[in-house]
Amino acid sequence: MRLSPGAIKTLLKVGFHNSLKASATMSTTKVKTIRDFGYDFNAEGKLRKIDPQSGEPGDEPFDFNISKDHATNQRNYEALGETITDRVYELLEENGLHKIYVPHNIPKEQATFVFANKKDLSGSKKLMVLIHGSGVVRAGQWARSLIINHSLDHGTQLPYIKKAIEQGYDVLIANTNDNYRNIDGVERRIPQSGSPTEHGATIWEKYVMGSNPEAVSIVAHSYGGVVTLFLAKKYPQFFSDKVFAIGFTDSVHSMSGMPDGVREYLRNVTRNWVTSTKPLDEKLDSSSGDVLRYSAGHTKHEWTSYACISALFKFFETKYEDFRTNPKTKKQKVEL
């Protein structure tokens, strides 16, 4: 279903605070492994109960209602979710990505981290930045519920990463919700990464602008759209010169207060694939001044990134060809 205006306002208002709350909770909890819960991912990336005889994932899917007490079930689900986060981090590295600590000049245990397919992105020909939404998700995830209830391909960013690298992109994976660390029993903000937008600005300055890529694209889900517009407003000329395409997946952004020049630029390079009963990539009505909206081909918010991947990459291919062959599209002065 499509998010109502009220739901969008609520997400914009509480998304950041929810991410802080989730960060604080996770950092003080002892995390087990997935197998400690009696589950693991099978060869298809589906979470299945471990067969006691073979010791391998069997056919039985995850069961939320393992207890008669809902509170107990919820705690177990959240604890399992934390192990999912660690497993996704491992999968990113197993798929050739490098963990890069942010900021780099403090002890690792006090820092957050991002992932990239190269340790040094300098001079990248095409760079894709992936930004997840708010809440409990971390780098490499779009939707934890889809990882648990469907598969790794449904809920992680791995399909985007693999497809991007196949098409010649370098990739940078943001970790915007990882904002706190427990230091000597006290929850402290991570320097330069104490909020989603601060994290976004830090990695944008150091690893995007700092690497001087030829061309940049962004994929952002839900609250990731808010982070993206913050960056576009903060670094308008770099966006105009380098960012050739932005793909939102059911973003909850607002264009209110956006300078006209930046707004016009964003409308030219951005599509927002939103929940809809319409077929994938069918153009939908858009609010005046907002980015263009297209159907994600699914009615549920958390499914949109998975559902629209083919349409999004097709759009990026078209925008990159235009960027590459038409110099005027790369050097448009943004008037503030």
Flag whether the pTM goes above 0.75.
Answer: yes
- Per-residue model confidence (pLDDT) at position 91: 97
- Per-residue model confidence (pLDDT) at position 73: 80
Residue 8 has phi, psi (to 5 degrees) of -65, -45
Q: What does the pLDDT look like over 252-265, one tens digit per residue? A: 999 988 999 999 99
Residue closest to 169 by CA, chosen among 5, 273, 274, 320:
320
Per-residue pLDDT band for 136 (boundaries 50, 70, 90) equals very high
Mean pLDDT of 298-325: 97
Token pair of 28, please?
């003080």
Residue 151 has phi, psi (to 5 degrees) of -170, 170
Residue 4's SS3 state is coil
Higher pLDDT, 29 or 70: 70
Residue 98's SS3 state is strand
> What would the DSSP string read from start to end of 269-305?
HEEEEE--SSPTT-B----TTSPEEEE-S-SSGGGHH
Q: What angle do CA 200, 206, 207 make, to 5 degrees?
A: 80
Q: Which of 124, 222, 240, 276 is catalytic?
A: 222
Q: Catalytic: 222?
A: yes
Per-residue pLDDT band for 326 (boundaries 50, 70, 90) equals confident
- Per-residue model confidence (pLDDT) at position 25: 36
Which helix (H) or strand (E) segment is 79 a member of?
helix 70-94
C-beta of residue 151 within 8 angstroms of C-beta of residue 45: yes
pLDDT at 19 over 80: no
Q: What does the pLDDT look like over 175-225, one tens digit per residue? A: 999 999 999 999 999 999 999 999 999 999 999 999 999 999 999 999 999
- Per-residue model confidence (pLDDT) at position 186: 95
CATH fold of 5-27+97-329: Rossmann fold (3.40.50)
* Length in residues, the chain: 336
C-beta of residue 83 within 8 angstroms of C-beta of residue 33: yes
> What would the DSSP string read from start to end of 169-199?
-EEEE--TT--EEEETTEEEEPTT-SSHHHH
Query: Residue 107, Cβ neighbours under 10 Å: how many?
Result: 9
The mean pLDDT of the chain is: 89
Q: Which of 126-130, 217-221, 255-259, 272-276 has the lowest mean pLDDT?
A: 255-259
